[in-house]
Structure 1
Amino acid sequence: MEELGLSDVEAFLAVARARGFRGAAVQGGVSASALSAALRRLEARLGVRLLNRTTRSVTPTEAGQRLLERLGPLVGEIGSALDSINAYRESPTGTLRLNVPSIVARHILPSIATRFLRAHPGITLDVITDDAFVDVLAAGCDAGIRYEERVERDMIAMPIGPRLQRFVAAAAPAYLAAHGRPSRPQELVDHACIRHRFPSGVVAVWEFERRGKIVRIRPDGPLLASTTEMEVEAAVAGLGIIHTFEELLQPQLANGALEPVLEEWCQRFSGPLLYYPSRAHMPAPLRAFVDFIKAEGAQRGDGEVRRTT
């Protein structure tokens, strides 16, 4: 049998795990046509079809599933062995792929990424912005950043960025002049509210807290959107009250385009967590990033937590 190429095997594994050429291409930073060509070469050399392809899906054949189960761990060990050479470098090299929500990508990660990349010029940071709940490994990422209630199970998690954040409600001065300023969260049912829809399709519930009392509101209003830019612009235009991360509204609050309301009810919550799987051989770029975040966290007294439930 003709000698198999490791790159062709890796292409098969990527497509089989992603269940598609397009997804595997995005994760691997290669073209779908290159992956397709690699798979054809591998199937020709083995003399057996490994993947069933339709216009809607890609699934392993029985032979492909068996090869996936046998080769997956072996290729992973090869990758770990090659990556271990990084330990002999003065500074590690390679790509670190992170999956993060948009609020983190815009307002928390940029300054951290800048400091990290200056300290590790041999590392490329590949940031995938995704507000949905994802399996970071299945998505081809080394680690993810999420808030505590959305961190995957059986992961190592550690604080990254601010330890506390808060949601704020705000409206344009013109809106408040025309409709009045609410004094209690319950009064929001009589106001026009600008609502947010998550990628899952769920519409956000507004939650407020004061002296241990929590009030949840399902608002109504003229706009329901999935992009914060549209929501903020609508609020500035005076269409209604907005409720979101304080960081997203800071410029408008600072210049007076928006005014805070229900300030004594602003809910605080724990900041984001960096999470990653427990691995015997952690990729060098991820190890460098974890050590970097630990060092910064030690200055604030932050710690690492192991999530097992």
Structure 2
Amino acid sequence: MAHNLADVNAFIAVARARGFRNAARIEGTSASALSDAVRRLEGRLGARLLHRTTRSISLTEAGARLMARLEPALSEVDAALSGVGRVGDEPAGTLRLNVPVSAARLILPDLVPAFLAAYPQIRLEITAEDSFVDVLAAGADAGIRYDERLEQDMIAVPIGPRIQRFACAAAPAYLDARGRPGHPRDLLDHACLRGRFSSGASPAWEFERERETVMIEGDGPLIVNLGPAIDLAVEAAIAGTGIIYLFEAWLAPLLKSGALEPVLPDWWPSFPGPFLYYSGRRLVPPPLRAFIDFIRARPSS
């Protein structure tokens, strides 16, 4: 069945803009023309793609499935078109990355300024969130994740330190008042400042020494959304509210200044560093290829 690509483009514009009027302004056409194009496409497909109300539109299940299939294809078309005539030229365009908040805080600051200085024609768009999303469906070119959260059939490139540690710490005044734990199980008698994923799961605190591993699910007066609100828990720990468990690199400046004191440092667990990952089934856009080459050329710690 042959399809009018103009009608397909009209559907994409409306879906992205979440409305006919907004899409019409962006595309430089009329809302009625877009509406007619979407109706023609729906008629050929035999399926409703949009729920229409007087105030808003939303994708139907069929529309959402179609967009999920179209987005990767559109990215490949954009990459192919942007690469035409640029062989040997400086890479240019937009690179979209979806990363955890920890990577935006601990990994990217050491990379982004140097990368943008080396490639002034590239614009970097970064979305930092700790919910588990399909980076391609979210419109990103690549993502940063840890090994246990990598999606299948993706190419993974090491990025940042190859070994990281979790650290446990508290304000000296808190430890003077409540005592210093000698074993991870002692934390069950302390105020633990916990984190929670957007899924609702609250990860246990893991400790290891030699061949012993201990998982602790402590309790305390504060639970924050992991990622967006973690700085609030850090400030609470500095103020003496309780004990925090976080990336060692995140807490390192506070440990160095004495604002926080290490707790059970002999038990801090190490884990492999993160990876940049992207689909091996797509044409790699020039900005992403430049970023991959850039991080591969940097020494890993």
**TM-score exceeds 0.5:** yes
Contact 1:86-1:284 at 8 Å conserved across structures: no
Which residue of the partner structure matches residue 172 of structure 2? 173
Which residue of the partner structure matches residue 217 of structure 2? 218
Letter in structure 1 aligned against 2:96: R
Which residue of the partner structure matches residue 306 of structure 1? none
1:285 to 287, 290, 295: 287
- Deviation per CA, 1:74-117: give whole Å up to 9, x if none: 64553243022264252111000000011111121022111111
How many Å apart are 1:242 and its aligned residue?
0.7
Which residue of the partner structure matches residue 127 of structure 2? 128
How many Å apart are 1:72 and its aligned residue?
6.3
Separation (CA, whole Å) in 1 of partners of 2:61 and 2:203: 41
Which residue of the partner structure matches residue 259 of structure 1? 261
How many Å apart are 1:42 and its aligned residue?
3.0
Moved more, 198-207 or 262-271: 198-207
2:18 to 16, 21, 29: 21
Relative distance call for 1:208 and 1:34 in structure 2 (3 A) is farther
How many Å apart are 1:188 and its aligned residue?
0.7
Separation (CA, whole Å) in 2 of partners of 1:113 and 1:70: 31
Contact 2:194-2:219 at 8 Å conserved across structures: yes
Relative distance call for 1:183 and 1:9 in structure 2 (3 A) is same
- Secondary structure of the 1:82 match is helix
Separation (CA, whole Å) in 2 of partners of 1:73 and 1:175: 52
Within a 5 Å distance, the mapping from 1:68-147 to structure 2 comes to 75-76=74-75, 78-85=77-84, 87-147=86-146
Separation (CA, whole Å) in 1 of partners of 2:73 and 2:253: 51
Separation (CA, whole Å) in 2 of partners of 1:208 and 1:115: 36
- Secondary structure of the 2:111 match is helix
1:44 to 36, 41, 59: 36
Contact 1:123-1:285 at 8 Å conserved across structures: yes
Which residue of the partner structure matches residue 294 of structure 1? 296
Which residue of the partner structure matches residue 46 of structure 2? none
Separation (CA, whole Å) in 2 of partners of 1:198 and 1:9: 37
Contact 1:208-1:267 at 8 Å conserved across structures: yes
Relative distance call for 1:89 and 1:11 in structure 2 (3 A) is farther
Separation (CA, whole Å) in 1 of partners of 2:140 and 2:171: 40
Moved more, 240-249 or 124-133: 240-249
How many Å apart are 1:123 and its aligned residue?
0.4
TM-score where L is the length of structure 1: 0.81
Separation (CA, whole Å) in 1 of partners of 2:237 and 2:69: 55
How many Å apart are 1:142 and its aligned residue?
0.3
Contact 2:170-2:240 at 8 Å conserved across structures: yes
Structure 1 unaligned segments of length 5 or more: list them: 23-30, 303-309
Relative distance call for 1:32 and 1:190 in structure 2 (3 A) is farther
Separation (CA, whole Å) in 1 of partners of 2:69 and 2:23: 24
Relative distance call for 1:254 and 1:107 in structure 2 (3 A) is same
Aligned length: 284
How many Å apart are 1:5 and its aligned residue?
8.2
TM-score where L is the length of structure 2: 0.83
Contact 1:97-1:127 at 8 Å conserved across structures: yes
How many Å apart are 1:45 and its aligned residue?
4.1
- Deviation per CA, 1:142-177: give whole Å up to 9, x if none: 000011111111110011011111111111111111
- Secondary structure of the 1:275 match is strand
How many Å apart are 1:282 and its aligned residue?
1.1
Relative distance call for 1:189 and 1:174 in structure 2 (3 A) is same
Which residue of the partner structure matches residue 58 of structure 1? 58
Separation (CA, whole Å) in 1 of partners of 2:160 and 2:72: 34
- Secondary structure of the 1:176 match is helix
How many Å apart are 1:248 and its aligned residue?
1.9
Which residue of the partner structure matches residue 236 of structure 2? 234
How many Å apart are 1:33 and its aligned residue?
7.2
- Secondary structure of the 2:35 match is helix
Separation (CA, whole Å) in 2 of partners of 1:174 and 1:69: 53
Contact 2:168-2:264 at 8 Å conserved across structures: yes
Letter in structure 2 aligned against 1:164: I
Relative distance call for 1:262 and 1:33 in structure 2 (3 A) is farther
Separation (CA, whole Å) in 1 of partners of 2:65 and 2:98: 29
